[in-house]
Amino acid sequence: MAALPKAILFDLDDTLIRAYAQPEEAWTRLLHVFAAHLDAHDAQSIDRVRVAVMEEARAFWNDRAEAAKWRLNIPGARRLSVRRGLARLGRADDELADRIADAFTELRRTEYRLYPDAHATVDALRDAGVRLALVTNGASETQRAKIERFELAHRFHHIQIEGEFGQGKPELAVYRHALERLDVPAADAWMVGDNYEWEVVAPQQLGMCGIWYDPFGAGVPAHATAQPTRIIKRLSELVE
């Protein structure tokens, strides 16, 4: 096993579990179910709806203040983006929009999957004496349900959820608090996650190592101002 730090902070969604990755495919699949309701009878019409909904979603997720608010109510955010997407296509129908959005929320929930090497990697790190934290954005109820479903609670020395702590990534206070709870200085800690801004750029500002989890090989964003300390495609690379 390569040299390990005193502490590692893990992201949850799309790092330990597969949750929201590759939304294009999931939306396309779901919108096919509603094809008759949407009067969308071919792939092209379905795709027009998908693009409208996803662009509306992107618009408020790109707004940092809006995103911080909606992260605590993702089903509500989905309803809003579908309502706006349908309205943009001249087919405003809030009742239908909410049914589609709620079906998407349920589809995603049923398809959450633990990454196959997540438990083994985390357990090996813990056995090696590394202090471990799970640091996740989102609402308490939603995130706690995932932590329970995937048997994660007992594996970590500290669990920090945005909806409980009161602040979310990339606020530096989030990482400072987690480090304090683990009693490890920033220079001896890694943050591992799939969000470039939250899990590479922000923790590096504190002197932590930002390990970017890039399972689909997306590559470093062209506009990136910071380079990840390391890029991994599988969690198990941390203990090889």
Given the rule CB under 5 A, which residues bind Mg ion? 11, 13-14, 194-195
CB of 142 to Mg ion, least distance (A): 13
CB of 136 to Mg ion, least distance (A): 8
CB of 14 to Mg ion, least distance (A): 4
CB of 193 to Mg ion, least distance (A): 5
Interacting residues of 166 by C-beta distance below 8 A, sequence separation 6+: none
**Cβ closer to Mg ion: 11 or 162?**
11
Find how far residue 161's CA is from the centre of its chain: 12
**Cβ closer to Mg ion: 10 or 27?**
10
CB of 220 to Mg ion, least distance (A): 16
Looking up tokens 């955010």 gives 77
Q: What is the distance between the alpha carbons of residues 162 and 7, in angstroms, rounded to a whole number?
A: 20
**Cβ closer to Mg ion: 104 or 198?**
198
Q: What angle do CA 48, 53, 56 make, to 5 degrees?
A: 125
**Cβ closer to Mg ion: 81 or 195?**
195
How large is the angle between the packed helices 23-33 and 94-111, nearest 10 degrees? 130
H or E element that contains 190: strand 189-193
Q: What angle do CA 65, 161, 24 make, to 5 degrees?
A: 60
**Cβ closer to Mg ion: 85 or 138?**
138
